[in-house]
Structure 1
Amino acid sequence: MLQLPDVIVASDLEVRVGSRTLVQFSGDHLRVQPGDRIGLVGRNGAGKTTTMRILSGETKPYGGKIISSGSVGYLPQDSREGRIDITARDRVLSARGLDQIQSSMDRQQEIMETSSDPHKVERAIAKYSRLEERYHTLGGYEAASEAARICDSLGLPARILDQTLDTLSGGQRRRVELAQILFAATEGTGKSATTLLLDEPTNHLDADSVSWLQEFLGKHDGGLVMISHDVELLASVCNKVWYLDAVRGEVDVYNMSWQKYLDARATDEARRRRERANAEKKAAALAKQAAKLGAKATKAAAAKQMLARAEKLVASTDEVRRADKVAHITFPEPAPCGKTPLQATGLTKMYGSLEVFAGVDLAIDKGSRVVVLGFNGAGKTTLLKLLAGVERTDGEGGIVTGHGLRIGYFAQEHDTIDPAATVWENTVAACPDAGAQDLRGLLGAFMFSGDQLQQPAGTLSGGEKTRLALAALVSSRANVLLLDEPTNNLDPVSREQVLQALRTYTGAVVLVTHDAGAVTALNPERVIVLPDGVEDLWSDEYMEIVELA
């Protein structure tokens, strides 16, 4: 049988952040080959995102080397595209260079139509012909249609593709980046040897788009490494699993499907516990016997040997994985406030001539619980930014602050975090009135301690950034929380912590989320539907919009 070539090989890989060793893996068994669909899993902070950056070539490993051949499509967790003055369509087409060719063709077309110089027209015709031939070679007009189909499948209709990136929401921009990578991977044939490295690809996708992505990835011929907390996606797509063990700092490789991996890991853990328990039982008996012998001076040497045997017996068994640490996520005890701490009247947002929404009125009463709904791009994130004072409304509307208002704002794109500052510096900036000891205790509850406090925030994973941003809210004593996708990038245990915090928080909450579980935990009283700004009492009929938006 012909052996397919390795596309990415990691040899003697060692991953560190600061002085922390996240991953050590001897040998060259971490391989990504065509047909491999690998789920990269582990708790938040285990090193998944850092490892993905290394595989993509964006970051160098602390030790070992990465050998890569062929094309790679990398979707980082926090996409930061370059130019934002180009259209979404051109951004996607740029994957094959079609945007530049189309632009050059348009310039030559303009010369042919407007120039009175026959020599210029002749040169333009010749250049246009060469460009058009190149355009057809790369798929040409069929490729543009294919790009549009991919975009539509990811919830980006034609009207969005004609907008510039700076007019799109964060979720729309991320879907444009995903569309660009998938468009590049198809190469006009529907098949490709491109290796896809996708970090949380379902963030900001609705249910239909997730279903389409599952089908696309399941048929992809090239290699795939994917980080996702979407268990259904992992189960439907992956045929291999790399588990990053945060306790041992190692990678366990499972060449099997997701369900078989879960079964194998459960069996392995049961074996470890059984063998460890037997060893500890025998060691305890040896230690008890050694204690009796040790009481006699003449038997001291024998007792010492017996104790050594007991220690060796326990050390020879595989270490039982300790339960992963869990962040103790809570929301602040709200400061006293008046009946209506926050009120908005006539909020309007424009991007150039494009109206996102207009004339939105909203009163946030003490302890009220409000969900903001609408399709992607309807302005949900923008509304929260206006309420938080991060952006200003267009027109005559505005924000009225009530007695005692304290706002706590959680930004979907972690805009409240300074990536160049350390974890500690970000926390001090967010909580200037708190003492150093209180802040250390707070960060410890959110699983930040030791050298991690001096780690630049920009090097944190998405889940770690989420925990850091949530930690900053706790000392704020906010009585109005503005939460934009607070469960994104969190592992299941941490997500449940956030849901519990939502259930028990007594202040007011304005929530934007695709997570139906978060809405259920909030138990909302009211809903604002954008872009029309319609306000209504909550009913379960709105849950369908949450899941599909």
Structure 2
Amino acid sequence: MITATDLEVRAGARTLLSAPGDQLRIQPGDRIGLVGRNGAGKTTSLRILAGETQPYAGEIRTSGPVGYLPQDPKEGDLDVLAKDRVLSARGLDEILASMAKQQTLMEEAADDKIRDRAISKYARLEERFSALGGYEAESDAARICSSLGLPDRVLEQPLRTLSGGQRRRVELARILFAASDGSGKSDMTLLLDEPTNHLDADSIAWLRTFLQNHDGGLVVISHDVDLLADVVNRVWFLDAVRGEADVYNMGWKRYLDARATDEQRRKRERANAEKKAGALRVQAAKLGAKATKATAAQQMLKRAERMMDELDEVRVADKTAHIRFPEPAPCGKTPLMASNLTKVYGSLEIFTGVDLAIDKGSRVVILGLNGAGKTTLLKLLAGVEKPDLGGLEPGRGLKVGYFAQEHDTLDDNATVWENIRHAAPDAGEQDLRGLLGAFMFTGPQLEQPAGTLSGGEKTRLALAGLVSSAANVLLLDEPTNNLDPISREQVLEALRSYTGAVVLVTHDPGAAEALEPQRVILLPDGTEDHWSDEYQELIELA
């Protein structure tokens, strides 16, 4: 269905992946987990497989339909209804719109000829609609949307009124609707980049079952190890150190065992070879002192070099970012207050009359169902959007640091260096280079456009911008999304040690636990309460 031949993937001058031959193939029934650390090239490789961008070298051959969910979907017309966006996967939205137009003509036309043409055209459209599954397809789309946490009221809203998480679930629903004919049979190849982001526990369970039953090919990037364990039957591991792909034709648990066994083998072989090569070098040094034995000494040295060159490389431990949130700037007792915050999109009221006071060093979690306005509230507090009613009251010394769920604080067209320079215009060049190095951005990567970074790399770059800010109030919207386990733990450790105020939106129970919150704000009502274990359980269930 998709075959990559002699694939080479680069980011600037850096080679992310070199896969000679046609070892990277996706066939019906393959459920492939694409894994590797942040920055190994997973997202870039998936975009290439989807035909969204071209490889540095090699060829991609595709047969059959492909459904691609990028990490940050960029929808076109945000005035389209969510329902129509999903139905557009099979072209049903345009047919329904045309049917509605002809029905209006049938009812309102005074001219018999116009009415007759409208009736004839309506009949042809209805026949085509029926051939594509018609009203059963509408029901199927609604079922998929409901399973992903998109209720009917959301489906009747324009995309621009939805939260980032809701829009992403609409895109996922659209792809799964295209891959389903109602019976689950499909020859579509699904390419899914972090599909569980923004999903609650019930939706993840439903998605897991859908993917297990999918008959076409599947490649999934996910840091949800439970999903990988239950779904994948093959693994592609992108080794960021060697710039190569290892293919494992086995499930997740066997893959983990095989990786561990393979690394132990490589270490044993290298230790034995180093011991033998060392002995050969010592002997060569002794022989080399005698002119008559010089040729034998050279042969021994060459043999030692061959012995080491023929070894499989031992995997070098992954580098990790050194994430530490900033030392907060001095401020007053209550650096940020807001009163009567109200946000409305058209006739849709997101929330109304929200009051809050963020005290120095306080730890606050915002909770609510998807679409309750959590991200919107953070945007209002950050000054990114304006409320329809109410306002902010900044206290003495307020300095806000904002981490956006969709990386909106980054300029995709600017380089890594330009982004960090914009975030900290007054910082010295050497200090910024050191900061980027701590976040694993060095050398040619500094000139790489931010739009070409993976989701995890974008998260690290946005966090680097926060570190340079000396903020005393951090507004964090899903800061652990898209991070590999090591980087996620770094963020959690940074949360534990930060002494400024934090307002957190998260679906990650570990993030809330690391924060040790004092208060919770419940949306859409804006109710404030003391934090308790019940709220921790609520995040775990969500």
Amino acid at match of 2:68: Y
Q: Tell me which residue corresponds to 1:376.
A: 370
Q: Separation in 2 of the partners of 1:126 and 1:475?
A: 66
Alpha carbons 2:184, 2:215 under 8 Å: kept: no
| Superposition misfits of 4+ residues, deviation over 6 angstroms | none
- Which letter maps to 1:83? D
Q: Measure the CA separation in 1 of the matches of 2:474 and 2:299.
A: 62
Structure 1 CA distance for aligned equivalents of residues 487 and 72 of structure 2: 19
Work out whether residues 22 and 246 of structure 1, in 8 Å CA contact, stay in contact via their aligned partners in 2. Answer: yes
Match of 1:387 in 2: 381
The 5 A counterparts of 1:94-109 are 94-109=88-103
Aligned mate of 1:442, from 435, 441, 465: 435
Q: Report how far residue 307 of structure 1 moved.
A: 2.9
Matching residue of 1:45 = 39
Measured after TM superposition, the shift of residue 284 of structure 1 is 2.0
2:348 partner amino acid: L
Q: Can you list the C-alpha shifts for 1:359-400, whole angstroms capped at 9, x where unaligned? A: 1111111110000000000000000000100011112x1111
The one-letter code matched in structure 2 to 1:456 is P
Following superposition, the deviation at residue 300 of structure 1 comes to 4.9
- Unaligned ranges ≥5, structure 1: 1-6
Q: Do the aligned partners of 1:198 and 1:225 also contact (CA within 8 Å) in 2?
A: yes
Deviation of the 1:290 alpha carbon: 3.3
State how far apart, in whole Å, the 2-side matches of 1:340 and 1:213 are: 43
Q: Report deviation, 1:283.
A: 1.7
Q: Distance between the aligned counterparts of 2:103 and 2:191, measured in 1?
A: 39
Instruction: Map 1:206-285 to 2 at 5 A.
Output: 206-285=200-279
Which of residues 281, 289, 296 is equivalent to 1:287? Answer: 281
Q: Say if 2:12 is the partner of 1:18.
A: yes
2:135 equivalent to 1:141? yes
Give the partner amino acid of 1:412.
Answer: Q
Deviations 1:377-435 (A, max 9, x none): 0000000000100011112x111111111111000000000000000000100010111
Verify the 8 A CA contact 1:46 1:246 in the aligned structure 2. yes
Q: Once the two structures are superposed, what CA deviation does each residue of 1:60-101 show, in whole Å capped at 9, x if it has no partner?
A: 111110000110000000000111101100000011111111
Q: TM-score, normalised by structure 2?
A: 0.98
1:427 counterpart = 2:441 = no
How far apart are residue 312 of structure 1 and its match? 2.2
Aligned mates of 2:51, 2:303 — CA distance in 1: 47
Equivalent pair of 1:14/1:62 in contact (CA under 8 Å): yes
How far apart are 1:294 and its partner, in Å? 4.4
Tell me the distance in 2 between the aligned counterparts of 1:382 and 1:297: 81
SS of 1:171's partner is helix
Q: Secondary structure at the match of 1:186?
A: coil
Q: What residue number does 1:545 align with? A: 538
User: Does residue 1:407 correspond to 2:400, yes or no?
Assistant: yes
| Counterpart residue number, 2:320 | 326
Summarize the alignment of residues 180-191 of structure 1 with structure 2, pairs less than 5 Å apart: 180-191=174-185
Specify which of 515, 519, 533 is matched with residue 522 of structure 1.
515
* Match for residue 493 of structure 2 among 487, 491, 500: 500
* 1:49-128 alignment, distance < 5 Å: 49-128=43-122
- Runs of at least 5 residues in structure 2 that lack an aligned partner in the other structure: none
For the residues of structure 2 that align with 1:536 and 1:513, how far apart are their CA atoms? 17
**TM-score, normalized by length of structure 1?**
0.97
Cα deviation, residue 305, structure 1: 3.6
Contact 1:374 1:545 in 2 (8 A): no
Contact 1:139 1:188 in 2 (8 A): no
Aligned partners of 1:134, 1:190: CA distance in 2, in Å? 22
Match 1:171 to one of 155, 161, 165: 165
Distance 1:175 1:222 in 2: 21
The alpha carbon displacement at 1:329 in A equals 1.2
User: Which residue identity lines up with residue 427 of structure 1 in the other structure?
Assistant: I
Is contact 1:335-1:478 (8 Å) kept?
Answer: yes
Alpha-carbon deviation of 1:291?
3.6
Letter in 2 for 1:436: E
What is the root-mean-square deviation of aligned Cα atoms in Å?
1.1
Asked whether the equivalents of residues 233 and 252 of structure 2 are also in contact (C-alpha less than 8 Å), the reply is yes
Q: Which moved more, 1:182-191 or 1:440-449?
A: 182-191
Mean Cα displacement is larger for which, 373-382 or 401-410?
A: 401-410
Q: Which amino acid aligns with 1:73?
A: G
CA distance in 1, matches of 2:76, 2:538: 32
Letter in 2 for 1:471: A
CA distance in 2, matches of 1:196, 1:379: 30
8 A Cα contact 1:153 1:212, kept in partner: yes
Distance 1:230 1:303 in 2: 54
Cα deviation, 1:319-360, whole Å, max 9, x if unaligned, reads 101011111111111111111111111111010111100111
Native 8 Å contact 1:143 1:188 kept in 2: yes
Number of the residue aligned with 2:391: 398
Inter-partner Cα distance in structure 2 for 1:253 and 1:387: 46
The alpha-carbon deviation at position 112 of structure 1 amounts to 1.1
Is structure 2 residue 331 aligned with structure 1 residue 337?
A: yes
> 1:3 — aligned with what?
none
User: Could you say what secondary structure the match of 2:179 adopts?
Assistant: helix
Would you say the 8 A contact 2:19–2:244 is kept in 1? yes
2:404, 2:477 within 8 Å by CA — same for their partners in 1?
yes
**For each residue in 1:150-201, what CA deviation from the matched residue of structure 2 results, as whole angstroms up to 9, or x when unmatched?**
0000000001000000000000000000000000111344211100000000
Report the Cα distance in structure 1 between the residues aligned to 2:371 and 2:278, rounded to whole angstroms: 64
Aligned to 2:473: 480
Question: Where does residue 452 of structure 1 map in the other structure?
Answer: 445
Residue 520 of structure 2 aligns with an amino acid whose one-letter code is: V
Partner of 1:197: 191
2: CA distance, partners of 1:108 / 1:301:
93
Displacement of 1:299 in angstroms is 4.9
Counterparts of 2:235 and 2:89, CA distance in 1: 29
Contact 2:184/2:213 (CA < 8 Å) preserved in 1?
Answer: no
- 1:99-157 Cα offsets, whole Å, 9 max, x none, are 11111111111111111111111111111111111111111111101100000000000
Q: 2-side partners of 1:499 and 1:300: how far apart?
A: 59
1:352 matched to which residue of 2?
346
Equivalent residue for 1:317?
A: 311
Structure 2 match to 1:31? 25
For residues 283 and 339 of structure 2, the distance between their equivalents in structure 1, rounded to whole angstroms, comes to 79
CA distance in 2, matches of 1:234, 1:545: 24
Give the Cα–Cα distance (whole angstroms) in 1 for the partners of residues 362 and 344 of structure 2.
28
| Greater shift in the superposed pair: 287-296 or 268-277 | 287-296
Report the secondary structure of 1:198's partner residue: strand
